[in-house]
Structure 1
Amino acid sequence: MHLGKQIRLERILNRDTRRAIIVPLDHGVSVGPLSGLTDMRQTLSRIATGGANAVVMHKGLVRCGHRGSGPDIGLIIHLSASTALSPYPNAKTLVASVEEALRLGADGVSVHVNLGDENERMMLEDMGQVSATAASWGVPMLAMMYARGPKVPNEYDPDVVAHCARVGVELGADVVKVPYTGDMDSFQRVIDACCIPVVIAGGPKMDSVRAVLQMVSDSISAGGAGLSMGRNIFQAEDPQALLKAMHGIVHDDVSVEQAMETLGHVG
């Protein structure tokens, strides 16, 4: 592997566990300034102090969150975008380049592909181009892979998720992000077909902290490499405390019960 890529990957994946807690903060483009994404310096400070390994941001947001003090955190620049206002919200297009990401000090880049969408071929073409450019610069690529389209009745179907993950692997991703399939056995089948780290998405904000932590724990038990969750973290009552609990599960292999105790919750 390119030495530069190895060095950058260690700013995203914990070098001892080879796992990661990634917090996407790119929602402002797709759905607007959600709660938790207004004061970016405060949000980033909480996320970094809580123990996250990296954040995902669009290029223009970096200047809003740069702190100049506090714990360091890995930076992944998201290159894909679409908005909920579009008649084609699942059709992602490239809005930044690998070179722009490097100029911003990024440790990696990410792309989002919705398999099954009518514009799938263009998203795959974009991913292929980014993969080639990122490889030439030694920049890790995170592939966010989902199945969303008229031929996809259930995007959480294990076979569908496994297909998404495998496309990410075969088109050159260094880390792939997919939805959790709902149980350890089916998710292990997803993992077994991948030779790169697989992290789970968070999806819509969940009502129960325990449910979030249980999903993270189960994915790790199945062989997953951690998580890439946004709203379930930055919209939490105490994002910093939640991240510390997640850190215990992802990097220290503590149980959900032990993690809940660090939050002050019982049961």
Structure 2
Amino acid sequence: MERAALSHYLAEFLQTGRFKDYAPNGLQVEGRNDIRTIVTGVTACQALIDKAVELNADAILVHHGFFWKNEPDVLVGMKQRRIKTLLGNDINLFGYHLPLDAHPVVGNNATLGRRLGILDAEAHESLGDGLLWWGNTEAPLSGDAFSGLLERVLGRKPLHIGADKPIHRIAWCTGGAQDYIDMAVALGVDAFISGEVSERTFHSATEQGIHYFAAGHHATERYGIEALGEHLRREFGLNHHFVDIENPV
């Protein structure tokens, strides 16, 4: 598959033009034109890039790429080494941030909802720019039971701030979305999940009587980029390797 064709397809499929984002969505570092093998991973860290070299990848697709707003423009240190490895091995880097959070099929929120078995899962139309999702558990669960479900699905124990009620209606937003908790409260849900947590989140949860789960930024955003890679494998016959670089955050 030619690089331009893949870039165009992903822009259309992920509707990148809808989003005002913190980093460019799409091709971030140009490599070889012919793409047959892709590697997907959460973040374009050195370990992921090195693994892509080992796997003879033509392109890497990530959720967290390069060139974020307010970061230094100069290519020195860690950033220089990462880009040098990409350029030296002629590997393309594609990054998709908010478009991957929001996609209704392969997005981070959609895939997390499926893995948790949430029923009637959907993005809320008017809150959170399509990034806040909500749905129902199959049956009411205690806070401890739902915490155990998260641990089994994500492979890490979440931080749980408890409330005195069962969980049936739930809202979530992957990654650094802890401040969506007040929108979740406004929806009348019993619990809210995000990846990261702040000091203020504890007070918001306890004073408003809602269960809150900080399930890990990396852990909640593993499955969208993998699903995107599998979609490209099925659609275009590309070789796909999902590489999960362990991250406890």
Higher RCO (C-alpha under 8 Å, 6+ residues apart): 2
Instruction: Check whether TM > 0.5.
Output: no
Place the TM-score, normalised by the shorter chain, in its bin: under 0.3
More strand by share: 2
Q: TM-score, normalised by structure 1?
A: 0.25
Pick the structure with greater CA Rg. 2
Using the size of structure 2 for normalisation, the TM-score is: 0.27
